[in-house]
Amino acid sequence: MTHGTATNLKIFATVLVTLGVYTWVANAIPQVASEVPEELTLGPDVSAEELVAAGEELFAGAGGCTACHGLGTRAPNLRTDYQGEGTIGARCGERVEGQSCKEYLHESMVNPAGYLVEGFGPIMPPQDRILTNNQIWALIAYLESLGGEVTVTAEDIQATAGGAQAAASSGGGGEGASGGEGDPLALMQNNLCFNCHVLGGQGVPLGPSLDDVGARRSADYIRNSIVNPGSEAAEGYENLL
């Protein structure tokens, strides 16, 4: 074997080892997928069991609820005891005087800033901008089932069918979500960016800070993160997507 052949074999072996290492690293890194909540169709005779099953799947998956409500640090953990009050289904009917459990949960989802649990900030966006009316009520039924009685009925779903369904299907309810055209700061405020991100001292540090993001990321990266946020998670924030 000539010296040149030996050298080429060493280079080839080094390339193979390097490719192998990169392949191993790529497969070892957890892949983050951003699920889109599937449309949920509920008939007039939907049962409590069907609602709970749909709500549980949504809570643990595409709804993204566990990113905050599964840790107990950003928001109360709804599936375990909270300060001796029990799980959410056991305590929701006692939160606001005169409100039933499902009334409280519904208000908490469409107007989350209205009822803040002490010690937690207003980081949750109104869910009727994200989820359909059917999905919201399925989640409520599931939360009721966690230590309480499921009282959600088809009549509840029908009674609120107009507002939440329209808001979710339009991507946030028209002018309120898209207002401020031409003013980037107003656009960020109206689209609830500051519910998770901080910029210039404004906002909630749930997701990555946006300070100096233009110096750290390209325009293509920033655009892709907005239109397809689950495509690549920032380091340390993988569990939020």
What local confidence, expressed as pLDDT, does residue 34 receive?
Answer: 42
What local confidence, expressed as pLDDT, does residue 80 receive?
Answer: 86
Distance CA 56, CA 213 (A): 36
Residues of the chain with pLDDT under 70: 1-39, 71-73, 163-181, 190-192, 195, 229-231, 238-241
Q: Which two tokens stand for residue 121?
A: 């900030």
Distance CA 138, CA 52 (A): 6
What local confidence, expressed as pLDDT, does residue 158 receive?
Answer: 92
What local confidence, expressed as pLDDT, does residue 37 receive?
Answer: 55
Q: What is the CATH class of 48-169?
A: mainly alpha
Q: Which residues of 111-132 are buried (b: 16+ CB within 10 A; e: fewer)?
A: ebeeeeeeeeeebbbbbbbbbb
HEC profile of the chain: CCHHHHHHHHHHHHHHHHHHHHHHHHHHCCCCCCCCCCCCCCCCCCCHHHHHHHHHHHHHCCCCCHHHHCCCCCCCCCCCCCCCCCCHHHHHHHCCCCCCHHHHHHHHHHCHHHCCCCCCCCCCCCHHHCCCHHHHHHHHHHHHHCCCCCCCCHHHHHHCHHHHHHHHHCCCCCHHHHCCCCCHHHHHHHCCHHHCCEECCEECCCCCCCCCHHHHCCHHHHHHHHHCCCCCCCCCCHHHC
- pLDDT (tens digit per residue) in 80-99: 888 888 899 998 998 889 99
Domain borders along the chain are 1-30, 48-169, 178-240
Distance CA 191, CA 167 (A): 13
What local confidence, expressed as pLDDT, does residue 110 receive?
Answer: 92
What local confidence, expressed as pLDDT, does residue 238 receive?
Answer: 64
What local confidence, expressed as pLDDT, does residue 2 receive?
Answer: 62
What local confidence, expressed as pLDDT, does residue 237 receive?
Answer: 72
Q: Smallest Cα–Cα separation from 127: which of 167, 96, 159?
A: 167
What local confidence, expressed as pLDDT, does residue 42 receive?
Answer: 81
